[in-house]
Amino acid sequence: MPFTAAPPLPGFLAGDLPFERGAWRLEGGPDAGRLVHFVDHGPRGARPVVLVHGNPTWSYLWRKVIVRLPELRCVAPDLLGLGLSETIGLDEHSVDRHARAVAELVDALDLAGAVLVGQDWGGPIGAAAAAWAPRRFAGKVFANTAVVLPERLRGTAFHRFARRPVVSDLAFRLLGFPQNALHKAQGDRSSIRGRTARAYRWPLRGWRRRAAPLALARMVPDGPDHPSVPALRRAEAWALGDAGPTALVWGTRDPVLGRALDRHAAAFPDAPVTRTDAGHFLQEEVPDELAAAIRQLAAAADTEP
């Protein structure tokens, strides 16, 4: 079995991530041989919770939520190219490749009855992974994400900027955008400052590692013919299908996806909705609300036939 020890953390981060961690060397698909880092913390016999981050973060994003769920098994992978997972090239990023890597890890850990929790790209990537391994999942919590696609596919000004040649490469790969400015997407800008801000910058050092934030920004579709659309439609179909109970937790001060709550609430009319004053990375601002929704969803999954 290609499990191996997790890559080491720098000293300034060790106290923030006092969790069990590991790494899995992928066996199938175009990324076979590449290493995926993950947190795997909590009782092994407990219901698993798969926490999937987005752009440009890593499993560190979930630390405040994990410590609030000691009764559950929390698994938080780093997407390829982000966190401590292995780097891939700018043109190698796609919804399907990220989803296949997450699905393979879920299978390798033999998770069953898992609750999917996805934020930002973690929503559609996690849902696409669940579509590859549907019997592994029993419910889902979506937070400031875009699993349900809008009628008009165009992205935000941020995503349109990412498609501009040369200038976007310089901004993302030379100047470290957007990880140097994550606080600007927050309701409380002090929530990503100091050591926390450094923790998000640390894995994305240098031109090669900074390919991932740019690639994930370009993965957001700007029209119906964008290459991400087929995988996103499969993810949406899984989420809207018979995939167990759903809950929504949203930061309404998110300048990127705050307004996406309305279409998700309409698409999941039976889902409980927790509205907060948080921004985009609500894990930093309202971990109690997120943990409560996950706990309630896990309990609801226990009662499903």
Instruction: Tell me which of 37, 40, 120, 264 is the catalytic residue.
Output: 120
> Catalytic annotation on 254?
yes
* C-beta separation of 296 from 272 below 8 A: yes
Sign of CA dihedral 182, 188, 194, 200: negative
Could you tell me whether strands 137-145 and 246-251 are parallel, antiparallel, or unpaired per DSSP bridges? parallel
Q: Which two tokens stand for residue 272?
A: 């409980």
Q: How far apart are the first and last CA of the chain?
A: 33
Segment holding 304, helix H or strand E: none
Instruction: Tell me which of 40, 78, 254, 264 is the catalytic residue.
Output: 254
Can you tell me the distance from the alpha carbon of 271 to that of 252, in angstroms, rounded to the nearest whole number?
17
Tokens 């509205």 sit at which residue? 275
Tokens 């849902």 sit at which residue? 127
User: If you count DSSP H runs as helices and E runs as strands, how many of each does the chain have, helices first?
Assistant: 12, 9
- Please report the beta strands in the chain, taking only residues with DSSP state E, as ranges in sequence order: 3-4, 21-25, 35-41, 48-52, 73-77, 114-120, 137-145, 246-251, 273-276
Tokens 């405040």 sit at which residue? 64
DSSP lists the bridge partners of residue 76 as 39
Q: Which two tokens stand for residue 48?
A: 């698993």
Segment holding 100, helix H or strand E: helix 95-108
- Known catalytic residues are 120, 254, 280
